[in-house]
Amino acid sequence: MKLCPQCSTPNDDDARFCAHCGAGTDEARPDPLIGRTVGGAYLLQELVGVGGMGRVYRAEQNMLGRTVAVKVIHPHLLGDDQTVARFYNEARAASRLNHPDSVSIIDFGRTEDGILYLVMEYLAGKDLAHILAEEGPLPFGRICRVARHVLSALGEAHALGVVHRDLKPENVICRTVRKGAEQIKVVDFGLAHIVGPGGTSITTPGLVCGTPDYMSPEQGKGETVDGRGDLYSVGVVLFEMLTDRLPYEDDTPTKVVFKHIHDPTPDPRETAPHRAIPDDLAEVCLKALRKKASERFQSADEMYEAVRKIEERLEAAKNASITTCPSCGGRNPAEQRFCGTCGARLTDRFTIPPSFRSIAPPPRTSLLPGPTETRLIGRRAELDRLIELRDQSERASLWVRVVGEAGVGKTRLMNELGQQLVADGDALAAAGPHPSGAIVPYWPIRQLMATLLDVDEPRMREIAESDAVGDPIARAGIAEVLDPKGLDGRRGKGRAEAVAVALAAAVRVAAGRSRSGRVGLFVDDLWRCDSLSARALALLTQRMPEGPLFLMTASQPRNDVEDTDESVRMTLRGLEETESVALLQDRPGPNELAVDREDDTAPAGRLRTPLFLEQLVALGVSELHEEGAPVRLADAVLARFERLDISARRLLQAIAVLGDSAPLEWVRELSRGSDMGSLDALRADGLVEVQGETILICHPFVRELVETSIPAEHRKELHTAALQVAAGHGAPLEVRAEHAWR
């Protein structure tokens, strides 16, 4: 695809003239934004659309590997500071929308060279304009369904004071998800207002904001537009879906606007008499198209209810004329005597075919010894090797660094090994990053030390202030863990050496209590912990060269620590084809991978992480290459999220803002209790787990993806509220700072 040198419209590579302005394309240049990273996180990969407001690119969000859409605003629309300020105001307002039927704006900003951009969830679907052009007037049931979803999105927006101002079929995206369901989303809320009074319309030059064909009378007059103006636009779209024509047509935009203001409203039943449009549906359309805003539906919710009742009536009438085959469950017209699918004789009795519910995998378990609920596939060799290394640690302390991408099974491998160590009589202490995700100094060391000494935090403070520990350096290390202050006279430098001495003393205490005399320390997600803890752990193995310490940490490849003489690196890879199929279909699989596990050149494209496969299981996918199934981890997680109702979405988002796990009381306060009724649904879907008074999200990657997918302004509001909750419960300063910064 190349851009026209005159108007910048994209054209096919073999086009000699621009399809938009007719200029020659011989001097056309490649799109300069392809391959560029904007906002420090979004790599633009492909131009997927050009509209009156800007160009839309498919992009990849670095770190998460998520596909997003980035809309770059046309530079000629934003020529002054006032317009740029209006862009930020409108984008900020639109990014507060958090609804299943509106496209989420997850980020927005301005590059150093002045390019304004919006980052949205990526939808691989068709807009309603394309669907109408390809399929013509739609069936009445589908029309109601599309209108209902649009009105649901508008209701949420209007409640937040956001008016769309440019609702039209091009701004309604429809896509088919698995098993034929249709998903409807409204895009570009409020953005037609960016240019503002006195400027040029984003959609049509020389007109007030909006598109003439769908513009309400008050909008055409340049008057103030509220939510009822959007409902007029819904009426136009509804008229078009019913009749395959617009209510007003003329040869110039100005004349079309004039007709919207002054001409009588056409009746869709008279415009398309061959369609036999139901009277109640036509009346809803006509009420939405009233000239005076005061005579229309007064809210999107009111119009939604009117459409919903019609849809229910149409569905009931449809079901009444359907007979279900008692043998195969096939649906047949009532007048048929035999089933068109299996040939069985049909009865007069209407039966409902059996429904099936996919069973989601259990959530990611905490790093504690105990029975696991899912089978472990493809890790026998790694487990045997780890047991062998554990045995070696009796003679010399050893640090094993397990490295792998998110979801490859590092935590699960630790859990399996931990159960074996406990069964063998080893002392075991496990730790990880702070549940909130904030970088809290020495947090994992504090967890390890408390477990090794079998004391709580108040008792640890007593030990640090007493002579219970004879070594003054060890006491200083315990004090440093509880209250990091650094060396006197050298502000900001932690006493990692003293902390290592204290941790070594705790290891020896635990070794003396254990049946085998061995101690295992497990630290999950070390790369998400503070650097002081990583330094103290590195020093620990040097402090205990004689053993009996077995230290195991987990990190991602790009965040792993440097190799040391005291450490061994073990790289985990995904599952190969036969193992992936075994996990999906819940049948026994081979214990060994078919590829060389130590070969860094192994074809990663053929390997799949267990976390990705678990998402497919939760989505009901049973075949590895099933048509329509997600092919990337982030897309699979988001597909699960899209299935949730709005209350469950909000609850999961609230939990994600609080961290990987959070006290139930905190979640209730942040969600204000209104969405807590959806907790059982999240648990049933395997997205969260409740342990006592704590709620955990199934995996840190899922938490991060959900949190970053919250619309930008709404995410900021949630973190502001979370700051108040955390402060009220005395959370560490670093946790409060994290919410304040976000």
Catalytic residues: 166
CA–CA distance, 697 with 481 (Å, rounded to integer): 27
- Closest by alpha carbon to 722, among 655, 660, 630, 622? 655
CA–CA distance, 163 with 230 (Å, rounded to integer): 7
Contact partners, residue 508, CB within 8 Å, separation at least 6: none
CA–CA distance, 548 with 560 (Å, rounded to integer): 24
Name the β-bridge partners of 11: 2
The backbone torsions φ and ψ at residue 15, rounded to the nearest 5 degrees and listed phi first, read -75, 135
47-50 — which CB contacts under 8 Å span 24+ positions? Answer: 47/1, 47/10, 50/9, 50/10
Length, in residues, of the chain = 742
Six-digit token pair at 363? 């959530």
At 685 the three-state DSSP class reads coil
Cβ-contact 138, 238 below 8 angstroms: no
Six-digit token pair at 525? 């997600």
Six-digit token pair at 178? 């698995």
Distances (CA, A) of 309 to 145, 230, 312, 322, 425: 11, 21, 5, 20, 66
CA–CA distance, 502 with 495 (Å, rounded to integer): 11
What residue type is assigned to position 681 of the chain? A
The position carrying tokens 């609920």 is: 373
DSSP symbol at 699: -
Q: Where are the beta strands (DSSP E) in 509-591?
A: 519-523, 549-555, 567-571
Distances (CA, A) of 182 to 125, 186, 224: 10, 13, 34
